[in-house]
Amino acid sequence: MKFSRIAPDLSVSAQLSPQDIGLAAAQGFRSIIINRPDGEASDQTGYQAMVEAATRSGLEARYLPVVSGRVTDADVAEFRKAMSELPAPALAYCRTGTRSTTLWALSQAGHLSTDAILSTAKEAGYDLSGMRSRLDAREAKSGDLPSSAASHEILIVGGGAGGLATASSILKRQPGSDIAVIEPRTEHYYQPGWTLVGGGVFKREQTERQMANVMPKGVQWIRSACAGFDPEHNQVILEDGTRISYKVLIVSPGLKLDWDGVEGLRETLGKNGVTSNYLFDMAPYTWELVQSLKRGRALFTQPPMPIKCAGAPQKAMYLACDAWLRRGFLNNIDVEFHNAGGALFGVADYVPALMKYVDKYGIDLCFNETLVAVDGSSKTAFFDVKDSDGNLSRKTVEFDMMHVCPPQLPLDFVKNSPLANEAGWTDVSGETLQHTRYGNVFGLGDGGSTPNAKTAAAVRKQAPVVAHNVLQILKGNAPNAVYNGYGSCPLTVERGKIVLAEFAYGGTLDPSVPGWVLDGTKPTRAAWFLKEKMLPTIYFDQMLKGIEYLAGPKILPHQPASHEAQDACDFSGPNDKAA
């Protein structure tokens, strides 16, 4: 973990872990300031655990949570007070360190020149130039946000699969386009590979790239977190309060893994036999548990929809069962699949092939059962069971190993924005992926409202649609590329064979190649070869680079642009809403 020094008595950092606290103590820090509110991300350690870690290491700690994008004068006053009361030097942290740096900068306004503050922050790796007007004023009222510091023709929120694939697809169509991507993370992950990490096929390192190495050339990378949206003024609000203006906005930030949605899960995850392939750091533990288990009960859980890759919970189960079968232990292990839904898989055509493996492995299917709590110390799971009349009862199951798929929700800064529908997802058309109310806003990926399977394969088909339609809007035309709801789920039923589920809206089968080449409703070695050998390369070397082989969008006959679509590109004033 990097600690960036910005003053003799203060350094800042991105999110810390309890282990980092010990390192901070060893480097001479005497206090910790926690500026990140609990619950912002699934991989975030709560403040209480951090305070306890600080106490164990002999450091004082203070919790001063600041809402991303809303650094108020009251926050600054509390920060200034903490700095005067806590022993120095102090280490302050938030998600990226930006909020902590912002608090320091505003606390120094009036004592140091604006140029000195901005220069110091930049040397520490934080560009606060968008705050110049607020720093100059020094008397800005609580809650005021700075005016836009920068503008881009195309602004993308999210540097995951959807954001980067769309940026590359736009550049393929129109080189030199003015595109900026807002993304705080420095690593980019090939998440579909984590199933194979948990199955002992991939090494975790194979699924990770540095963000700088996958960011499309010619795109400006804004290394900050998005805190909110102001579509009426064509602006995005960053975590330090800076506003970035746009002509067209693309929203692809992903979703939130709600580890706190299951009581006790966060505390026991990664120990007591509880694991999840939904985390980069946790997938190797899955394989460790599979290798060590020789008898007992293994639970695999699936929460209510929607979730990322609906087949992932049972993929982990099949690969574990195959490993136990090969080693001769499966007869001594009771395997249970606890699914909050009422069916094994949402597309009926693939169920017969999957049921053959359920029978082969002796898996006990437990439908309409939702994991609600875990007691790691006693290795006990608690499920709410719904009967045919909708009545709930509580069921207790002891386990030796449990693979958990967490509940999944919209990100808070999307859910609480004007872009969200009632459920909290970015409200877009299921075909054009254009926002239903703001004509110059598009959304794709896991955070969108489209009723397709939330998979990387879906994003591969969505990105070219958005790229085409964005350029249409910028030309004053109506969007005319359409997405058919395509999704794909390579179901790893055993090591060496996969049921390659490909389907569109309504559960219609939508295979990429003819059935005589590869029948996706049956387990095949060809599909395994595709998953293991070809898909990572297709992802990194084609999809993220705008190569759309077998993924080009369907283009409808051109229609005259509506006044709303034309007005959506008027960058000088508020955005008219699309009909």
Which pLDDT score, from 0 to 100, does residue 44 have?
87
Task: Check 94, 226, 309, 366 and give the catalytic one.
Answer: 309
The model's pLDDT over 16-50, given as tens digits with 9 standing for 90+, comes to 999 999 999 989 999 999 999 998 887 788 999 99
Q: Between 293 and 2, name the one with better pLDDT.
A: 293
Instruction: Count Cα atoms within 13 angstroms, Cβ side, for 41.
Output: 19
For the question of residue 489 being annotated catalytic, the response is: yes
The type of residue at 85 is E
Q: What value does the mean pLDDT of the chain take?
A: 91
For the question of residue 309 being annotated catalytic, the response is: yes
Q: Are 483 and 457 in contact (CB under 8 A)?
A: no
The model's pLDDT over 75-110, given as tens digits with 9 standing for 90+, comes to 998 998 999 899 989 999 999 999 999 999 999 887
Q: Are 271 and 493 in contact (CB under 8 A)?
A: no
Task: Check 94, 366, 405, 489 and give the catalytic one.
Answer: 489
For residue 306, say if its preceding peptide bond is cis, omega within 30 degrees of 0: yes
DSSP assignment string, 435-450: BSSBTTEEE-STTB--
Q: What share of the chain is helix, strand, coil (3-state, %, to 5)?
A: 35, 25, 40
Buried/exposed 174-197: b ≥16 CB within 10 Å, e otherwise? beebebbbbbbeeebbbbbbbbbb
User: Region 560-576: what's the mean pLDDT?
Assistant: 41
Q: Are 428 and 442 in contact (CB under 8 A)?
A: yes
The model's pLDDT over 148-206, given as tens digits with 9 standing for 90+, comes to 568 899 999 999 999 999 999 999 999 999 999 999 999 999 999 999 999 999 999 99
Would you place residue 140 in the very low, low, confident or very high pLDDT band (cuts 50, 70, 90)?
very low
User: Region 235-246: what's the mean pLDDT?
Assistant: 89
The model's pLDDT over 500-557, given as tens digits with 9 standing for 90+, comes to 999 999 999 999 988 778 899 999 999 999 999 999 999 999 999 999 988 889 999 8
Phi-psi region of 274 (alpha: psi -120 to 50; beta: other; left: phi over 0): beta
Return d(Cα 359, Cα 373) in angstroms, integer: 28
Which pLDDT score, from 0 to 100, does residue 139 have?
41
Q: Which domains does the chain have, with CATH numbers?
A: 4-137 (3.90.190.10), 150-255+410-567 (3.50.50.60), 257-409 (3.50.50.60)
